[in-house]
Amino acid sequence: MEITAALVKDLRERTGAGMMECKKALQEAKGDLAEAEVVLRKRGISSAGKKSGRATRQGLIGTYIHAGGQLGVMVEVNCESDFVARTDDFKELVHDVAMHIAAADPRFLRREDVPAAVLDMEKEIARDRAKAEGKPEKVLDKIVEGRLAKFYEEACLLDQPFVKEATLTIDQLVKTKIAKLGENIGIARFTRFKVGDVAAAAAETSQESVAPESVTP
């Protein structure tokens, strides 16, 4: 069954889940709305969307130092209350996100953080590559869109597959904790340090300086 935009919109309105989560759930459920809703509930995503507008002014700053002391990460994860911030589940999330950043080396927190110049360059590269491969002009936009999605998956923390469970993105991982703990949770900012990588550290420090106090996935 074709997964139409109207079908995705319908599921999103029912559950409050994000568009990509809804589309994936519908694909898994072969277009069955009721079954797709069950898929989202099993992932703890459907109830997470309903909490996304709530303020997150508590939380923790977590760290991860890789064996050998050559690589380290600092990340701020926010929630609504100090009570939730003290729970083992929240602490586990903070640790897992820090460890993931160390392993996956994201350049940005979310898609909106990618500078326009970087995005334009990626689009140009994708289009020129498709032309060099002999792709027809009429499908170039679709190819560029697909390759940009891959770029986001590689470069943006929230889009990256979680290193401990590749079927979940970091965004989905956060939403499962939102559903379990009953509070909105957001990753605010992160910094990744690697011994000798001074240029990267400077870039990440610059990114941190403009990051908002709280980010809702």
Cα→Cα distances 69→73, 94, 100, 164, 192, Å: 11, 19, 16, 21, 13
User: Which residues lie closer than 8 Å to 12 by C-beta, 6 or more apart?
Assistant: 18, 19, 22, 49
Q: Are 99 and 182 in a shared domain?
A: yes
Tell me, yes or no, whether 215 lies in a domain. no
* Least confident range of 117-126, 149-158, 196-205: 196-205
| CB-CB contact of 75 with 94 (8 Å) | yes
Q: Cα-atom radius of gyration of the chain, to the nearest Å?
A: 19
What tokens were used for 217? Answer: 């996935």
Q: Let me know whether 60 and 106 are in one domain.
A: yes
Q: Is residue 132 part of a domain?
A: yes
Least confident of 42-46, 125-129, 180-184: 42-46
For residue 12, what pLDDT band results from cuts at 50, 70 and 90?
confident
Same domain, 145 and 129: yes
Question: Which phi and psi angles does 194 have, rounded to 5°?
Answer: -130, 130
Q: Is the pLDDT of residue 79 over 90?
A: yes
* Helix or strand holding residue 203 (H, E): helix 198-210
Return the pLDDT at 181.
85
Specify if 97 maps to a domain. yes
DSSP-based three-state secondary structure for 166 = strand
Q: 122 with 140, same domain?
A: yes
Question: Residue 1's CB: how many other CB atoms inside 10 A?
Answer: 10
Q: What pLDDT digit, counting tens, does each position of 174-210 carry?
A: 988 887 888 889 999 999 999 887 655 455 444 444 4
Closest C-alpha to 160, from 84, 105, 88, 87: 105
Which of 133, 168, 164, 169 is CA-nearest to residue 152? Answer: 169
Better-scored residue on pLDDT, 212 or 150: 150
Total number of domains in the chain? 3
Give the chain's mean pLDDT. Answer: 84
How many Cβ atoms from other residues are within 10 Å of residue 47's Cβ? 17
Is-contact 15 45, C-beta < 8 A?
Answer: yes
Domain stop point among 102, 135, 151: 151
85 three-class SS: helix
Cα distances from 5 to residues 11, 12, 197, in angstroms, run: 10, 10, 44
Residues 48-60 pLDDT 10s? 666 666 777 899 9
Query: What CA–CA distance (Å, rounded) separates 35 from 26?
Result: 8
pTM assigned to the model? 0.69
What domain range includes position 17?
Answer: 5-46
Whether residue 29 is found in the same domain as residue 98:
no
Q: How far is CA 93 from CA 25, 57, 73, 205, in A?
A: 23, 17, 14, 23
Does residue 91 surpass a pLDDT of 60?
yes
pLDDT exceeds 50 at position 217:
no
Least confident of 31-40, 77-86, 135-144, 206-215: 206-215
